[in-house]
Amino acid sequence: MDRNEQQAPHNVKRVQLPSGKTIEVVHFGKAVEQDRDLHRCPACESQLVYPTSWSEADESSWEVTLRCPECEAIREGIFAHATVEAFDEQLDLGTDALASDLARLTRANMAAEARLFVGALAADAILPEDF
Ligand SMILES: [Zn+2]
């Protein structure tokens, strides 16, 4: 028997809304989008697109809601597992870049505060009662 004949013609997914109501979302067929660069906004070309939600659509694809922080574009789609994995790697690279920038900023702030403190000590502007 053909494997496709055993599958339902559409997928029904129950989603609970913040209000507590439950709705059924019906996906007809398997409209997997071919977009390979989910981190890139098709509207403004920003490379800062991030997911606001994602869930497994079936065993080989994910339903993802994407948001662009630069033009506020929001889109939903069903994407192949490999596409979502590549997107996840891009998100990891973005997280690493942010963590690296944060560490550099923290060091720069600490160095600036240390210079100010040394200057205040040299000017006798810090007294024991300041502590
Ligand atoms: Zn955009």
Residue with tokens 């071919």: 34
CA of 85 to the centre of ligand 1 (A): 21
Q: What is the pLDDT of residue 29?
A: 58
C-alpha 125/C-alpha 80 separation (Å) is 63
Model's pTM, two decimal places? 0.63
- Write out the chain's pLDDT in tens, 131 residues: 444 444 444 666 777 888 888 887 766 655 778 777 999 999 999 999 999 999 999 889 999 999 999 999 999 999 999 999 999 999 999 999 999 999 999 999 999 999 999 999 999 998 888 88
71 CA distance to ligand 1 middle (Å): 4
**Are residues 62 and 11 in contact, defined by beta-carbon separation less than 8 angstroms?**
no
Cα(74) to ligand 1 centroid in Å equals 9
Query: How much is the pLDDT for 10?
Result: 63
Q: What is the pLDDT of residue 3?
A: 45
CA dihedral defined by 124, 126, 127, 131, rounded to 10 degrees? -160
